[in-house]
Structure 1
Amino acid sequence: MSSSVVKTGKADAPSRSAGTPPTGSRGLQGHPWLTLLTVAVGVMMVALDGTVVAIANPAIQADLGASPADIQWVTSGYLLALAVFLITAGKIGDRFGHKSTFLVGAAGFAATSAAIGFAGSIQTVILFRVLQGLFGALLQPAALGLLRGAFPAEKLNMAIGIWGGVIGASTAAGPIVGGLLVEHVNWESVFFINIPVGLIALALGLWILRDVKTENAAKSFDIPGIVLLSGAMFMLVWGIIKAPVWGWGDPATLVFLGGAVLAMAVFAFWQTKAKEPLIPLSLFRSVPLSAGTLLMVLMAFAFFGGVFFVTFYLQNVHGMAPVDAGVHLLPMTGMMIVGAPVAGAAIGKLGPRIPIVAGMLFTTAAMLGMSTLSTDSGTGVMSLWFVLMGLGLSPVMVGATEVIVGNAPLELSGVAGGLQQAAMQVGGSLGTAVLGAVMASKVTDVLPENWAKAGLPPVRGAQAEGLNQAAQLGIAPPAPAGTPQQAVDAMANAVHTSFVSGMSLAFVVAAVVALAAAGLGLLTKRGANDAGPAVHI
């Protein structure tokens, strides 16, 4: 956006056509499609990092002698920082400009990636992973804010669709790229790959991006609001992450989850008193925006919670290498790559409601289909449900993002982008934890019966607990030397059958959540975007 101030009141329209490339000495600066290219390159790092690191974790653990708890922090520390800081990061973009925020995020993400690669201890890796999450949080809301400022309403859906396709492609490439790098180079290269990508994003950002600022943006920060919201998000996400380990009824879990509810209530009260609140509660007077936010939570719950088990199913039940498992997921991620731009075009013509509802119904059908997978299901059957899943998720991710960002005033586009990403993080964490608990309970119930049916001697005590935990990941126990092959096969079959039973139940629950999200999609509608904010503060 040009240096002239943009007004975004009820009767005011932006001082330029957001989809029109600038002219004169500025050259290509602010060009909508080049803006899209630039922010896509930056966000690609964050999306790629989400899946590529999971492949590297075993190598990191072996090389640095990390404990299982340490390795959990490599992932949890990053996710916590990302989830806690997203909305505040969006506010920073609204206050100081989304271009500056994006550039700082890209440079910081690349720099912390380099620091992780050169780290000599697991503690250093964890420290820089947390910092990496903070810089990643700066990138994503800023990217949506820049897109919101660069594109007019009639083209915003297509832009978000392509942006979603890039994220899908990066997510799909993660397991394959990570597997190849870990296998043929080293685990450090998984992080070093972010350096050239970050430098490209930084160079393009300096050359192409035009800042997005409005005269209505807050002039100060709501420090108490930031502290309360950050504390609430930390306690919520951390409680969800640890609940499967501690137990959902454990006092520690209840303290964290209860503390999150209390902090959120105090935060909501404070927002009604703050002079310049972090999240004006009047934002949620928009029913479509509120519905879109909850829809994003439910979609992420069903998708990330359900797909979490698929990687274990492919690698531990079917015995695939990480690279092979990534290839088998390509039908799903490939359809997301293709489907996101198509969904953007469809939403531009039809509005978000019909594509979102249809997408969640497709997702529901895919979840029910995946609940029927068995220990010997073939690639064709799996690919069918993966394709349907990709087709279903594309219009939901694009549509819900447009509903949230498009129904917010321009001066709060960064906060809206942070809200969208935070909803996805919370939903994904909650889905993984809740569906993980559902699966663990089912495996615990059926494993003794399946073990006995296989004619195997009963296992008790610590050995039984170890067997149960391994079965929850689909891992067959190692057999003592000299064990007949028939007994080895019987143990593996009992474990794999129990795992698939738990996975099937988890997918049924995910299908119910997806169906509820389809109903919620009926409340969504297109945002006002350039014509003026849908919510007036």
Structure 2
Amino acid sequence: MPSTTVDPSPLPAHSPPQAPAPSGRRANPWLTLIAVAFGLFMVQLDASVVAIANPEIGRALQASTADLQWVTNAYLLALAASLILGGKLGDRFGRRAFYLVGVVGFTLASVAIGLSGSVEGVIAFRAVQGFFGGLLMPNTLGLLRTAFPPRKFGMAVGIWAMVSAVSTALGPIVGGLLLENVSWESVFYINAPIGLIAVVVSAAVLPQSRSKNAGEPQPFDVLGVVLLAVALLCVVFGVVKGETWGWASAGTLGAVGIGVLLLGVFGWYETRVSHPLLPMRLFRSRALTTGTVITALNFFVMLGVIFFVMLYLQNVRGFSPVEAGVRTLPLSLASLVASPLGAALTTRFGPRLTMPLGMLLQAGAAFGMLTWDTTSSYATMWPPFVALGLGVGMVLSASSDAIVGQAPVQDAGVAGGLQATSLQIGGALGTSVLVSLISSRVGSTLTGELTGAGVPAPVAAGLQEAEDAVAMGAAPVSPDMSAQVKAAVVEGSGQAFMNGVHTAVTVTGVLCLLGAAGAAAGLRRTSAARH
């Protein structure tokens, strides 16, 4: 029977120091940052590399489109369900231990995927990979929170954010090179050397780190774990299936609705147990609450936009994966600059400046993409890439500082899990929602664009059935078409796709403006006082 006592304690800026203090190389916070950067790089690189590898996995394993969706969805579902649990386990039993368990498990699961030989095996081990990623990710921030003093934590988070953003943006290039020169299995095998380095470095330099109350006997919130896991599974499942089922379908609304209801039950239950999985007192901090929402919006924009940008570059413009990845390098380079810059500005002025500024830059990037068409020069592409990279990097630094930096040290892992969970849900929403917007706009304009480009009306009407392919940037040409009709189909399909892109970026830009206003309103000017 759980205790019905509500924790009335205030939300402290910092908890008392833990004992015993680390010494030697384990006392060097910058070595801790280097160690966790390897694990973070591996997970973030894997996420974007797999997106590039999916078509080749489908061809090699004779997988259906539904199978390929589950290659991604199995990972997302397992990751979302385990992130906060991973942070809590680290806080309670040791962040170094669970970070290392996460790295080893993620690495072994990656190798198992390459050796599986079937799409069913790939899906199963992707779920295992997601679970261990959920142990790894929150403890990277938890370790940094305990290793760095407050005045330097912002810069550490900036470098953490830089590693995250750059590894995500490098994925298409690395994945393209491996697919063109090795095999699809190699995009998973590459995690083996990275994981090995992460284990060796981490074992040598990471200090033991856990909550100051970790040694006290206390019950573990098993019911809270179950409620949160099932709730997040329902929400993420509804989100990732919304694009194919339809956002107004009974399946989508039912899954999301059940998930939201269970989240409400979880929040109610957590206020009534003495040792909750996710202490509700954390949300007394306006900075933490605002940072959680803006983190979700930040990755809604980043992953959603990158998804359709890669479709545009590869399917509409005809670039190879490597060529497309090279053309998005300005995004990576801007992220490289923005993350430490955002951290420095956050340390000096607080997230109330950097978070809205980053969202405004992303709004500018989205509205800048309204100028794109099927033959745009690269001069119109790179400025939005730069603005997007700057905006994402600045917001990631500021929101990480607002969430993990505002949480008590004993809850650092849970706060890291909260941030990572909002990031994953935002990214899943971004991809699904923006693809749905593109699909809807393509469906309503395809026939008109085809006839306008010169496709005979009967042929154009017949091609309406190919709107799903057009929404992915592909032109539904067939060998029996004349050269003139083929050219017209390519032109009309490309224009219909761009109509969808323009709708998606307009909605994205408006959301970014609302996010900037919400961040400015939700964060106090005194946010930087603790530094």
Q: Report the TM-score, using the length of structure 1 for normalisation.
A: 0.92
* 1:363/1:392 contact within 8 Å kept: yes
User: Could you tell me how far 1:303 is from its partner in structure 2?
Assistant: 2.5
1:189 matched residue in structure 2: 186
User: Could you tell me how far 1:457 is from its partner in structure 2?
Assistant: 2.5
User: Could you tell me how far 1:442 is from its partner in structure 2?
Assistant: 1.0
Q: Measure, in 2, the Cα distance between the counterparts of 1:476 and 1:269.
A: 51
Residue correspondence of structure 1 range 177-326 to structure 2 within 5 A: 177-217=174-214, 219-326=218-325
RMSD: 2.2
2:17 matched residue in structure 1: 15
| Residue type of the alignment partner of 1:517 | G
* 1:153/1:529 contact within 8 Å kept: no
Q: Measure, in 2, the Cα distance between the counterparts of 1:11 and 1:453.
A: 62
| Residue type of the alignment partner of 2:297 | L
1:328 matched residue in structure 2: 327
1:107 matched residue in structure 2: 104
Q: Measure, in 1, the Cα distance between the counterparts of 2:428 and 2:14.
A: 40
User: Could you tell me how far 1:296 is from its partner in structure 2?
Assistant: 1.0
Residue-by-residue CA offset, 1:343-372 (whole Å, 9 max, x unaligned):
212211222211111111111111110122
User: Could you tell me how far 1:101 is from its partner in structure 2?
Assistant: 0.7
Residue correspondence of structure 1 range 411-422 to structure 2 within 5 A: 411-422=410-421
Change (3 A) 1:16 1:266: closer
Residue 457 of structure 2 aligns to a residue in which SS? coil
User: Could you tell me how far 1:527 is from its partner in structure 2?
Assistant: 6.3
Residue-by-residue CA offset, 1:267-290 (whole Å, 9 max, x unaligned):
122112222111121211111111
Residue correspondence of structure 1 range 369-384 to structure 2 within 5 A: 369-384=368-383
Change (3 A) 1:123 1:17: same
Q: Measure, in 2, the Cα distance between the counterparts of 1:79 and 1:149.
A: 28
2:127 matched residue in structure 1: 130
User: Could you tell me how far 1:17 is from its partner in structure 2?
Assistant: 12
User: Could you tell me how far 1:437 is from its partner in structure 2?
Assistant: 1.8
User: Could you tell me how far 1:504 is from its partner in structure 2?
Assistant: 0.6
User: Could you tell me how far 1:187 is from its partner in structure 2?
Assistant: 1.0
Residue-by-residue CA offset, 1:97-139 (whole Å, 9 max, x unaligned):
1100100001111111111111111111111110000111111
Residue-by-residue CA offset, 1:455-497 (whole Å, 9 max, x unaligned):
212358995454211111110013224x332221110000000
Q: Measure, in 2, the Cα distance between the counterparts of 1:495 and 1:423.
A: 35
Residue correspondence of structure 1 range 515-526 to structure 2 within 5 A: 515-522=513-520, 523-524=522-523
| Residue type of the alignment partner of 2:180 | E
Change (3 A) 1:461 1:508: closer
2:457 matched residue in structure 1: 458
1:29 matched residue in structure 2: 26
Q: Measure, in 1, the Cα distance between the counterparts of 2:194 and 2:529.
A: 31
User: Could you tell me how far 1:248 is from its partner in structure 2?
Assistant: 1.5
- Extract unaligned runs of 5+ from structure 2: 1-9
Q: Measure, in 2, the Cα distance between the counterparts of 1:11 and 1:418.
A: 19
Change (3 A) 1:22 1:212: closer
* 2:165/2:393 contact within 8 Å kept: no
2:78 matched residue in structure 1: 81
* 1:410/1:529 contact within 8 Å kept: no
Residue-by-residue CA offset, 1:395-420 (whole Å, 9 max, x unaligned):
10000010000111111111100110
Q: Measure, in 1, the Cα distance between the counterparts of 2:103 and 2:459.
A: 52
Q: Measure, in 1, the Cα distance between the counterparts of 2:304 and 2:200.
A: 36
Residue 145 of structure 2 aligns to a residue in which SS? helix
Q: Measure, in 1, the Cα distance between the counterparts of 2:14 and 2:394.
A: 31
1:432 matched residue in structure 2: 431
User: Could you tell me how far 1:228 is from its partner in structure 2?
Assistant: 0.8
Change (3 A) 1:461 1:223: farther
1:341 matched residue in structure 2: 340
Residue-by-residue CA offset, 1:19-53 (whole Å, 9 max, x unaligned):
xx954xxx311311110000001111100001111
Change (3 A) 1:453 1:473: same
Q: Measure, in 1, the Cα distance between the counterparts of 2:12 and 2:438.
A: 50
* 2:451/2:460 contact within 8 Å kept: no
Change (3 A) 1:222 1:348: same
| Residue type of the alignment partner of 1:57 | N
2:364 matched residue in structure 1: 365
1:5 matched residue in structure 2: none
Residue 211 of structure 1 aligns to a residue in which SS? coil
Deviates more, 1:296-305 or 1:101-110: 296-305
* 2:278/2:414 contact within 8 Å kept: yes
Q: Measure, in 1, the Cα distance between the counterparts of 2:102 and 2:211.
A: 21
| Residue type of the alignment partner of 2:339 | A
**One of 65, 68, 79 as aligned partner of 1:71:** 68
**Percent identity between the two aligned chains:** 44
2:390 matched residue in structure 1: 391
Residue 25 of structure 2 aligns to a residue in which SS? coil
**One of 500, 503, 509 as aligned partner of 1:502:** 500
Query: Aligned pairs, how many?
Result: 518
Residue 477 of structure 1 aligns to a residue in which SS? coil
* 1:13/1:530 contact within 8 Å kept: no
User: Could you tell me how far 1:184 is from its partner in structure 2?
Assistant: 0.9
Change (3 A) 1:9 1:520: closer
| Residue type of the alignment partner of 1:414 | G
User: Could you tell me how far 1:222 is from its partner in structure 2?
Assistant: 0.9
- Extract unaligned runs of 5+ from structure 1: 1-7, 532-537
| Residue type of the alignment partner of 2:493 | V
Residue-by-residue CA offset, 1:256-312 (whole Å, 9 max, x unaligned):
111112211211221122221111212111111111111112222222222221110
| Residue type of the alignment partner of 1:489 | A
